[in-house]
Amino acid sequence: MVWLRSSHACSMGSDPIEWTHCSPADEAIVFGTLRAGDVDECVRRAKNAFPAWAARSFEQRWECLCACREALENGREALAQLITQETGKPIFEARLEMGAVIAKFDFTHADGVRYILEEAITDGPHAAQTRWRARGTAAVIAPFNFPIHLGHGATIAHLLAGNTVVFKPSPLASHVGLAYAEMMQANLPGDVFQSVLGWGEVGRALCLHADVRSVCFTGSIPVGRSLAQALAPDYSKSLALELGGKNSLIVCEDADIPLAARATADGLCLTAGQRCNATARVLVHARVEAGFLRELEHELARYTPGNPSLETTALGPLISSASRVRYQELLATTPGEPIFAGSEVARLATGEAGFYVTPAVLRAGDVAALDASAFALRESFVPILVVETFDRHDEAVARHEAWDFGLSASIFTASDENFHRLGDRLHVGNLYKNLPTTFSPSTLPFGGWGRSGNGHPGSRGFIRFCCEEQAVQRRS
């Protein structure tokens, strides 16, 4: 059981909304009671802190963030353990997440130097420059699957740009969020970084607050669409949406089949399929389907459900009982023939009763029925994969484009010509050759097209969306 101080989070007054939740890895472990926060109070504090923070130089703000980096570096193992305990993410993945969190500082600093420092303009009629001004208070809504990393990238970009931040972690990872917030706040001026807890109504109130000038939301398509519609009248507010995907891995006839199978298994099973860039479908050339499936069966053997705290576990539990129900419903309703039948695992061999399932692979049947199914129309966030075959590259492109998502796609081929012939026609923000759909390093931008988001990158370059450009000219 993990208990954390929460005095640094804005709390409500009378009759607060409270909740508890259990460990997804062992339902017998119940985490401490959490209390929904006061959005108005958090935003008020952050707004009042903004002028002094924005007035600091880029270098002074960076100095504060370096102190935050040191604190997170010192606490990285404790935070990784807490991620595993609260979300069920295997410990090896949680440690990788913390490594990405630490690395994000230097990437963001490099982006700041590249994009938002003042630039002299020498080819105009007067002495001039362009400069970037901080917007004000930013709302950052973080998901449970990367409870620190995804919100952290937006947070430090906003802070370095001169904005103040109100951070809302997922209610399913609030203890992790509070621990992260405590380390950040200890190394920043008072009220520059606020945290607020709660469920959807709290997040919506934060995003729609009139004094919030930027919103970074990672979550579902229905919520993202609702936010975009509600914020449309306030068109000066910056909105960055990362809304998930139904990502395809395309296996050409000349592909390295063992490599493609391994990437498919990884993309399907990492974080128990609870990644926005998880592999949801494979489009495989008919001539190599049989060999691909044989290799995939071998690779999936690496993903046996286990206690996520163990170093050897590759497949942890789903986050909640609701996710397990969604897994069962999708297995029952997705058109197709089971190739590798998935199932719920009621209890591990060691006795833990958590939200464990096994990966499932289906061979597509009626394409029209599949395209109209819940599996095709929404992000599933469970380890279920559909396999389709194609004979011509045009068929693979058409089938990929039939699903109106645009986050990630991977093409496995030995030929650069094949890669470009296919890839140049795919509507995705992240396109890879011979790599898993989940391989999205912080060295690159990361953003979705179509239903997957509004294209604002959540990694490299995000700092551009934290500021407003100002043109300055002077007559001598």
Q: What is the C-alpha to C-alpha distance for residues 223 and 217, in angstroms, rounded to an integer?
A: 9
Distance separating alpha carbons of residues 279 and 387, to the nearest angstrom: 11
Distance CA 262, CA 297 (A): 10
Contacts by 52-56, CB closer than 8 A, 24 or more apart: 52/189, 53/134, 53/159, 53/162, 53/163, 53/164, 53/189, 53/192, 54/133, 54/134, 54/162, 54/163, 56/162
Sign, Cα dihedral of 148, 153, 158, 161: positive
Amino acid of residue 223: V
Calculate the CA dihedral of residues 429, 434, 438, 444 and round it to 10 degrees.
Answer: -50
Encoded amino acid at 293, one letter: L
**Catalytic site includes residue 276:** yes
Contact 2, 298 (CB under 8 A): no
Cβ-contact 452, 245 below 8 angstroms: yes
Helix 39-55 to helix 200-208 angle (10° resolution) is: 40
Distance of alpha carbon 108 from alpha carbon 233, whole angstroms: 31
Greatest alpha-carbon pair distance for the chain in Å reads 79
- Decide if 337 is catalytic: no
Query: Per the residue annotation, which of 242, 299, 352, 388 is the catalytic one?
Result: 242
Per annotation, catalytic residue among 276, 295, 299, 466 = 276
Catalytic residues: 242, 276
